[in-house]
């Protein structure tokens, strides 16, 4: 269907009249969704929430930069990265929802803080809020995308066909995200005194949240052949981070671990103070106007 003027196409012909509308078809229609035999479906759903929530929450954080980045190209870059992560999240939440009997929107907008399973690294404020700046955001993206790329590389061999397909597709996207973060890290670390100072400070800010990425959770332990043991990713990720920091003339921060509550962290639904504020912004519209579409 063609229109003389772009705005005409917004005036309701069919549900999916606008690419960004909420008339989304199911994120996984047509994908092989058989559950592997013998798999603990509740554990599979919990795992998809973990990997999906990491992407959803960081996507929300990265979107905060749109219109506030240091340069126009970076507005676009961070929004593009956020969009890739949102796409990964939609497929993983839909997969979890097949077991839980809820759709992706219900899982994203109607869960409370304690039901989210993302790591703390995804949720902390690394800027543009008071918790950081562009360099801090790059430090987080470097760590997160290096870790997730290593994870997806292994998940391609998952016995769950959806996890394997999401990983195969996402891997190519994550390679771009990691390169983007690595190149900025080098540019800032090897730039002026001020950019170097800020990049090092960004690393110091995010480093206490690195340890959680490699801590194996009981959900992962219950899913042999389906989930990846994150502890097995540590040496590969350390190698990548060391290569980037060395090229950038930055110092690897001392290993410090953020506090946990009775041994629990993001994977158990125990979050930092930042999470409630993030969810308030992300969920407000949907909860105030249930069923709202545009």
Partner 1 sequence: MTTALEIASAVRDPELPVLTLADLGVLREVSEEDGRVVVTITPTYSGCPAIDEMGADLRRTLISAGFSEVEVRLSLSPAWTTDWISREGRSKLAAAGIAPPARVGPSAAGPVPLNLVPPSRQVACPQCGSLNTSEISRFGSTACKALRRCHACSEPFEHVKEI
20 or 294: whose CB is closer to partner 1? 20
Around Cβ 44, how many Cβ atoms within 10 Å? 26
Determine the 3-state secondary structure of 289 from DSSP. coil
How many residues are recorded in the chain? 294
Interface pick for partner 1 out of 41, 68, 172, 197 (rule CB under 8 A): 172
Q: Using the rule CB under 8 A, is 292 a contact of partner 1?
A: no
154 binds partner 1 (CB under 8 A): no
Question: Distance between CA atoms of 149 and 173, rounded to whole angstroms?
Answer: 9
Question: What's the min distance (Å) between Cβ of 186 and partner 1?
Answer: 6
Q: Taking CB under 8 A as the rule, does residue 4 contact partner 1? A: no
* Range in contact with partner 1 (rule: CB under 8 A) among 22-30, 34-42, 203-211, 265-273: 22-30
- Which alpha helices (DSSP H) does the chain contain, by range? 41-63, 72-100, 104-109, 120-123, 134-155, 161-189, 193-206, 218-221, 234-248, 274-288
Query: Which two structure tokens, joined as six digits, stand for 63?
Result: 């979107």
Residues that contact partner 1, how many (by CB under 8 A): 58
Extract the tokens encoding 78.
């961070």
Q: Which of 63, 183, 195, 283 binds partner 1 (CB under 8 A)?
A: 183
Applying CB under 8 A, which part among 95-103, 116-124, 158-166, 262-270 lies near partner 1?
158-166
Is 80 a binding residue for partner 1 by CB under 8 A? The answer is yes
The terminus-to-terminus CA distance of the chain in angstroms comes to 20
Encoding tokens for residue 10?
């917004």
Q: Assess 176 for contact with partner 1 (CB under 8 A).
A: yes
| Tokens, residue 115 | 């039901």
Proportion of the chain in helix, strand, coil states, percent, rounded to 5: 60, 0, 35
The rounded Cα 9 to chain-centroid distance in angstroms is 32
Site string for partner 1, 218-257 (x = CB under 8 A): ------------------x---x--xx--x----------
Which chain residues interact with partner 1 by CB under 8 A? 1, 14-21, 23-25, 27-31, 73-74, 76-77, 79-81, 83-88, 90-91, 149, 153, 161-162, 164-166, 168-173, 175-176, 178-180, 182-183, 186, 236, 240, 243-244, 247
């Amino acid at each position: 269907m063609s229109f003389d003027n772009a705005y005409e196409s917004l005036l309701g012909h069919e549900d999916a009249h606008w690419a960004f509308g909420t008339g989304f078809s199911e994120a996984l229609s047509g994908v092989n969704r058989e559950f592997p035999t013998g798999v603990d479906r509740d554990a599979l759903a919990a795992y998809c929430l973990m990997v999906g929530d990491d992407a959803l929450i960081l996507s929300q954080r990265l979107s905060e930069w749109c219109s506030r980045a240091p340069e126009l190209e970076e507005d676009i870059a961070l929004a593009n990265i956020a969009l890739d992560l949102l796409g990964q999240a939609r497929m993983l939440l839909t997969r979890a929802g097949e077991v839980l009997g809820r759709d992706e929107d219900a899982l994203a907008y109607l869960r409370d803080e304690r039901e989210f399973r993302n790591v703390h690294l995804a949720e902390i404020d690394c800027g543009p809020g008071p918790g950081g700046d562009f360099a801090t955001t790059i430090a987080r993206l470097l760590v997160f995308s290096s870790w997730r790329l290593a994870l997806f590389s292994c998940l391609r061999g998952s016995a769950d066909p959806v996890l394997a397909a999401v990983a195969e597709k996402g891997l190519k996207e994550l390679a771009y995200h990691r390169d983007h973060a690595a190149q900025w890290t080098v540019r800032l670390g090897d730039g002026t005194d001020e950019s170097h100072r800020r990049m090092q400070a960004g690393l110091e800010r995010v480093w206490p949240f690195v340890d959680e990425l490699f801590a194996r959770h009981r959900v992962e332990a219950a899913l042999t052949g389906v989930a990846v043991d994150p502890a097995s990713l540590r040496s590969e990720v350390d190698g990548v981070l060391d290569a980037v920091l060395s090229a950038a003339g930055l110092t690897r921060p001392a290993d410090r671990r953020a506090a946990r509550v009775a041994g629990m962290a993001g994977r158990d639904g125990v979050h930092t103070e930042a999470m409630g504020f993030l969810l308030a912004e992300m969920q407000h519209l949907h909860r105030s106007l249930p069923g709202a579409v545009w």
